Chains A and B, each alone.
Chain A
Amino acid sequence: MISVRKVSFNYPDGPQVLHDVNLEVKDGEFVAIMGENGAGKTTLVKMFNGLLKPAKGTVAIDGVETKERSVAQVSRDVGLIFQNPDSQLFAETVTQELGFSLRNFGFSEDVIQKRVTSFLHLLDLEQYATASPFVLSGGERKRVALAAILVWDPKHVIMDEPTIGQDYLQKERLRNLITQLVSQGKSIVIVTHDVEFVAECKPRVVLLSHGTIIGDGPAEHILTDPKLVDQASLKMPQIAILMNNLPSADRSREIIDVYSARDFLLPRIRTGTGTTQSPQKVA
């Protein structure tokens, strides 16, 4: 479990970025941290693996405070995937890139080989095994960076803006991968502005604004609250906007994805209730 208690933080000579933040992420939970630029999202997740230590309060991973351990020790349990893959890629081949962290953590060579092969397959990178990471496209580099973290099997996985530069197919793959990781009991935290991706995944959403948590709950509840969404400089998902614009009889505030909207609207269309008249148009 990731436990953040009364955490405040400011960068040296800078303003306070986080104010008295409390947050708990349980094992097997999927959380999306959202909020405006400069809200303190990345600062908060950098505390999860000990890169930043709180000025006040505590951050504990499975009961052990990050202050008591080195970044390498905490990172064994908390994998942090940075927004820009170019911040970490350096090796001659994708295979070497994946093996780097495993060697740092002291895995044996045969385990390294097995894991690298397995994760190249999992993230559809087999054809690039001997290629330089620098010749790959932006989306592919992002997948290499993801594989390079998942390869050591951290218990908690943090992803900073994982959908940037990814096409729809890759986002779908990412969504499936997250589902798979959550089913393995891993806690997944993503930092994102991508409301449509969150609307499809429907995780728990933590809304951050000016270093303070202003909302915490199911995506359907948070992303359909106009005040909260506005305060965090976000936009409601398209489906939520559509539902809000329907005549009052058809409104359902907490619908954010196409399938839930279909399930809600179809019976009404078939029975002719509400104001929607043409079933063919929706189907």
Chain B
Amino acid sequence: MSLRFVQGFKFTKLDTPIHNLDPRSKFLLILGFFTTALMFTNIFVLLVVILVQIPVVLMAKTVKRWLQSMRGGALYAVFIFAANLIFGTPLVQAIAFGIRFLGIVSAFSLFFMTTSADDLGLALEKIHAPYAIAFTFTTAVRLVPTMAIDAQTVVDAQRSRGLELDKGNLMKRIRNYIPILIPLIISAIRRSVELAEALEARAFGATEKRTSIATLKMHFADYVVILLTIIGLDLAVYVYLRVPLPNPVIPIQVPHIKL
């Protein structure tokens, strides 16, 4: 099992128009994709949500890592599709739920690949989020790659003890992940306790009013992105309310599974 798909959420400093956008305008854009994906269960619209993101990915020069995150996301999308099908969701809708998940993964992968944790913290402070919350959030983002490395180590350690993750039926495969998840959760808790103690030892929260050297400033491109997002969202709401959208007809009969 490889956790390389997490690379698709890791920030790398590049000089591209997308990286240089203000995190607030970028987040609004991602929120636009997210909201549109949640609004619709139509396969065509959900595919458009993914396709529209491709030029942005190209501009951000992160195609390879975006594909990694999509490949990782595709596994979970298949799981969502299968779970929906098992619990009686019609085939077309089950497919739509899988594509919707991919659209959301794509949007957030794009955001995290192009936004540094520092910028994210500044953006949260700018919208008057309490510093403790902004710090917690940025620390969580920063720790994602570390957690991915930890997860790979745990997987390696358990495979070295004869654990075969892909062996057995569905229930067995799910159970196989218990020896992976428990060490990961325990180490995450241990790390958070140690981090909290280290922060307290360095007088975290001693000063109520903090100042910051770096400040965020909106540029022309940011206003263009905000405008395009608003237009796109308006269009999505209009289509949702006024335009009847037929889903494709898939000539396959799925037998009802009795649970």
**A interface, CB within 8 angstroms of B:** 12, 46, 49, 51, 70-72, 75-76, 79-80, 82, 84, 86-90, 100-101, 104-105, 134, 148-149, 152
A51-B156, A88-B183, A134-B186 given; 18 more Cβ-contact pairs under 8 Å: A71-B159, A72-B163, A79-B160, A86-B183, A86-B187, A86-B190, A87-B150, A87-B153, A87-B157, A87-B183, A88-B179, A89-B183, A89-B186, A90-B179, A90-B186, A104-B162, A104-B164, A105-B162
Taking each of A82, A88, A134, which has the highest tally of chain B beta carbons within 10 Å of its own beta carbon? A88
Contact of A82 among B4, B157, B182 (CB under 8 A): B157
- A71 to B178 Cα, complex, angstroms: 19
9 cross-chain CB contacts under 8 A:
A46-B156, A51-B160, A86-B190, A87-B153, A87-B157, A88-B183, A90-B178, A104-B164, A105-B162
A84 and B153: CB pair below 8 A?
A: yes
- A75 to B158 Cα, complex, angstroms: 10
**B interface, CB within 8 angstroms of A:** 4, 150, 153-154, 156-164, 178-179, 182-183, 186-187, 190
B164 and A70: CB pair below 8 A?
A: yes
Given contacts A86-B186, A86-B187, A89-B183, contact A104 B160 (CB under 8 A): no
Taking each of B153, B161, B164, which has the highest tally of chain A beta carbons within 10 Å of its own beta carbon? B161
Chain A residues in 8 Å Cβ range of B159:
51, 71-72, 75
- A82 to B150 Cα, complex, angstroms: 12
B179 and A100: CB pair below 8 A?
A: yes
A101 and B187: CB pair below 8 A?
A: no
Contact of B153 among A49, A82, A90 (CB under 8 A): A82
A72 and B153: CB pair below 8 A?
A: no
- A152 to B161 Cα, complex, angstroms: 9
Minimal beta-carbon separation of A214 from chain B (angstroms): 27
B160 and A71: CB pair below 8 A?
A: yes
Chain B residues in 8 Å Cβ range of A51:
156, 159-160
- A229 to B154 Cα, complex, angstroms: 32
Contact of A88 among B4, B158, B178 (CB under 8 A): B158
- A104 to B161 Cα, complex, angstroms: 7
B153 and A104: CB pair below 8 A?
A: no
- A148 to B178 Cα, complex, angstroms: 17
Chain A residues in 8 Å Cβ range of B178:
90
